[in-house]
Structure 1
Amino acid sequence: MSTLRIPFPAVVVGVVLVLIGAPTALGRGSQVGHDDPWNREHIDHLPLEVRNAVNHMCGNSARAAHYFATYLDNSHIIRLHFEHLQCGNGGGFCSSAGCLHQEYVTRGGQYRLIKSYYGRNDD
């Protein structure tokens, strides 16, 4: 029975190459799931009517957290939680009474504002 002998320098070169490549691979892999918590995309993905209303209130500098918009009844209702919205102009959507919340409902293929109220930050 013969045995395969790998020369020592080849093993060292192989280990060095693996160690040099590992940080690069790990660094790239860690970025895959990165999503800035305050992100313009959370507004850009809203239906046009809702997005236009937010932009009118806040301007194009608006950035939202993940739970700014919640969807109910198979997306027929969209609830906006303004405590999860940042505006370039400061906003001012929260007071001692709570934070502004709005509900939009789809009718005839378009979303319309049906309810606007101040509520707790967690509703």
Structure 2
Amino acid sequence: MTARTPREYRAPIAIGALLLGLLDPSGALARGGSFPRDDPWNAERIDNLPPDIRNAVLHMCGSRPNAGHYFATYLDNARVVRLHFEHFNCEGAQQLHHRADGCLHQDYARTGAHYHLIRNYVGRCED
């Protein structure tokens, strides 16, 4: 009998590990792996806004607001932040930001270390 080298053990170990992962229902595959869950409506999107913009948005809503994926878009290397209120939701509050002729949009521009509102308009929804 000849001794096996470490290289000869690689294939059987890899096959065994694969079979163990597929057959174990409590394993990572059964739990969906380690992919983070990204809810379509999320308050963290509001929390991640620059402080000046975040404070203005929080004052527009009587309750804790949630935002969709494209609520805030960043233009000109984040010098301008455009808010799309069709992707904004105040929990339990009436949707005041949607109108028959479109949806509220706001543009904020950075001057120095602060952002200020430069444009408030009704535009196409899903813009």
TM range (shorter): 0.7 to 0.9
Q: Does 1:105 align with 2:109?
A: yes
Deviation at 1:76, TM superposition (A): 0.2
User: Alignment partner for residue 53 of structure 1, among 53, 56, 69?
Assistant: 56
Q: TM-score, normalised by structure 2?
A: 0.77
Report if the CA contact (8 A) 1:58-1:91 is conserved.
Answer: no
Counterpart of 1:93, as a letter, is H
Where does residue 117 of structure 1 map in the other structure?
121
Where does residue 10 of structure 1 map in the other structure?
none
Q: Which structure shows the bigger proportion of residues in helix conformation?
A: 1
Gap regions ≥5 residues in structure 2: 5-15
Equivalent residue of 2:46, what SS? helix
Q: TM-score, normalised by structure 1?
A: 0.79
* Range that drifts further, 38-47 or 56-65: 56-65
What is the correspondence of 1:1-123 to structure 2 with a 5 Å cutoff? 18=20, 19-20=23-24, 22-88=25-91, 89-123=93-127
Report if the CA contact (8 A) 1:39-1:63 is conserved.
Answer: yes
Tell me which stretches of 4 or more aligned residues in structure 1 moved more than 3 Å: 27-31
Q: Take 1:113 and 1:55, find their aligned partners in 2: how far apart are those partners?
A: 15
Report if the CA contact (8 A) 2:28-2:34 is conserved.
Answer: no
Equivalent residue of 2:28, what SS? helix
Report how many aligned residue pairs link the two structures.
112
Report if the CA contact (8 A) 1:80-1:103 is conserved.
Answer: yes
CA RMSD of aligned residues (A): 2.4
Gap regions ≥5 residues in structure 1: 5-13
- Deviation string, structure 1 residues 68-103 (Cα, Å, up to 9, x no partner): 000000000000000000102223101111000000
Report if the CA contact (8 A) 1:82-1:99 is conserved.
Answer: yes
Counterpart of 1:92, as a letter, is L
Identity %: 51
